Structure 1
Amino acid sequence: MKPIIKVIIPAYNEQDSIENVIKDIPEIVDEIIVISNNSTDATEINAKNAGATVLSENKKGYGYACLKGMDYISKQKTKPSIIVFLDGDYSDYPEQLTEIIAPILQDNINFVVGARVKELRENGSMTPQQVFGNWLATKLMKLFFNAKFSDLGPFRAIKYNELLALKMQDKTYGWTVEMQLKVLKQKMSYVEIPVKYRNRIGVSKVSGTVKGSIFAGIKILGWIFKYSFK
């Protein structure tokens, strides 16, 4: 039986990149869902023209956008087998989606993270604060949970039923780490797949600002310590 695969793409002012992202997603995907997170540019028009389903979420926050996409899927009659999360800035290589979902399809793994390994990253594609934040977060997860994660990469895939079981809550910067921590706590199977990573189109809304970096760091550490002492 052919798996039903849906892609959720949170997007805030990604008019220059969103068409490229959608165009490079493999045809095995059944539906591409772009959630415009209070965009003020042509993100929505460009995404629609490229063939995506477009939703609007006016509450700003990465988690808000992802939850909007999940709510939309929950109301569909036919539920997907796999959900893939992907950013709208074209820093990831959407064509690697087939590699991301392969462990789920072939080995019945529950959750897969695309790990932005150094040797596959374009120079400057991750800021020093991103590199340090990923290192610290994954070291703490190893310390507290014996986790084998090396990255909090946004390009990821998860079985739909397992995603629902996580009962995701975070509305902003902590979405990715919350997912990984809950996977660990619920003892779901997981693997990382090395992925390529390039300089994004446009300016990052999180790591591109001092405020964004600080708040993201606080949120990530907050989730880790919350789960470590539960």
Structure 2
Amino acid sequence: MKNKIIVIIPAYNEEASIVKVIAAIPEIVSEVIVVNNNSTDGTETAAKEAGATVLNEPKRGYGHACLKGMEYLSRLEEKPDIVVFLDGDYSDYPEELTSIVAPILEQDMALVIGARVPELREKGSMTFPQRFGNVLATFLMRVFFGSRFTDLGPFRAIQYNKLLALNMEDKTYGWTVEMQLKALRKRYRYVEVPVHYRNRIGISKVSGTLKGAIFAGIKILSWIFKYSLKK
């Protein structure tokens, strides 16, 4: 039986990159959903012209955009088997999606994280706050939960039914770590797949600003300590 794969791309002011992202997504994907997160540029028009389904989420925040995409999936008559989350800034390599979903298709993994390993990262593609935050967050997850995660990378795939069972709720920067923490608590089978990572097109709305980096760090750590107290 052919598995239905849908991609969700949160996008805020990604007019310069979104067409490249959509064009590089493999044909095994049934539908590409771009969630226009209150952009002030031509992201919406560019994504539509590139063939994506475009949803509009006026509430700013990565989690808000992802939840909007999930709301759309819930209304589909034929639900997907696998959902892939991918950034719209062209820092990920969308063509590596086949490697991301392979452990789900071949080994029945519940969750696959695209790990931005140093040897596959373009110089300058991850800022110091990003690198430090990843090291600290994954270290704490290892200490508190015995996890094997090394990255909070946004390029990831998850079985749709498993995603629903997580009852995702974070509206902003904590979406990725929330998913990983809840997957750990539910003892989902997971794996990381090394992926390439390049300098994004445009300026990051999170790591590119001091305010964004601080808020993201606080949100990520708050999720980790919240779940550590539930043990």
Asked if these proteins are the same fold (TM beyond 0.5), I'd say: yes
TM alignment of 1:72-111, pairs within 5 A = 72-111=72-111
Partner of 1:11: 11
Partner of 2:210: 210
Partner of 1:147: 147
Tell me how far apart the structure 2 counterparts of residues 28 and 193 of structure 1 sit (CA, whole Å): 18
TM alignment of 1:117-196, pairs within 5 A = 117-196=117-196
Residues 50-104 of structure 1, C-alpha deviations (whole Å, 9 max, x = no match)? 0000000000000000000000010010000000000000000000000000000
Tell me how far apart the structure 2 counterparts of residues 229 and 190 of structure 1 sit (CA, whole Å): 23
- The Cα shift of 1:107 comes to 0.3
Letter aligned with residue 223 of structure 2 = W
Q: How many residues align?
A: 230
Structure 2 unaligned blocks of 5 or more: none
1:52 and 2:52 are equivalent in the alignment? yes
Tell me how far apart the structure 1 counterparts of residues 73 and 160 of structure 2 sit (CA, whole Å): 10
Residues 116-137 of structure 1, C-alpha deviations (whole Å, 9 max, x = no match)? 0000000000001100000000
- The Cα shift of 1:19 comes to 0.1
Residues 16-53 of structure 1, C-alpha deviations (whole Å, 9 max, x = no match)? 00000000000000000000000010000000000000
Partner of 1:198: 198
Residues 183-205 of structure 1, C-alpha deviations (whole Å, 9 max, x = no match)? 00000000000000000000000
Partner of 2:229: 229
Letter aligned with residue 79 of structure 2 = K
Tell me how far apart the structure 2 counterparts of residues 132 and 120 of structure 1 sit (CA, whole Å): 17
- The Cα shift of 1:169 comes to 0.3
Question: TM-score normalised to the size of structure 2?
Answer: 0.99
Structure 1 unaligned blocks of 5 or more: none
Query: Percent identity among equivalent residues?
Result: 70
Letter aligned with residue 5 of structure 1 = I
Partner of 1:13: helix, strand, or coil?
coil
Tell me how far apart the structure 1 counterparts of residues 7 and 138 of structure 2 sit (CA, whole Å): 25
Tell me how far apart the structure 2 counterparts of residues 153 and 133 of structure 1 sit (CA, whole Å): 11
- The Cα shift of 1:217 comes to 0.2
Question: TM-score normalised to the size of structure 1?
Answer: 1.00
The CA RMSD measured in Å over matched residues stands at: 0.3
Partner of 1:41: 41
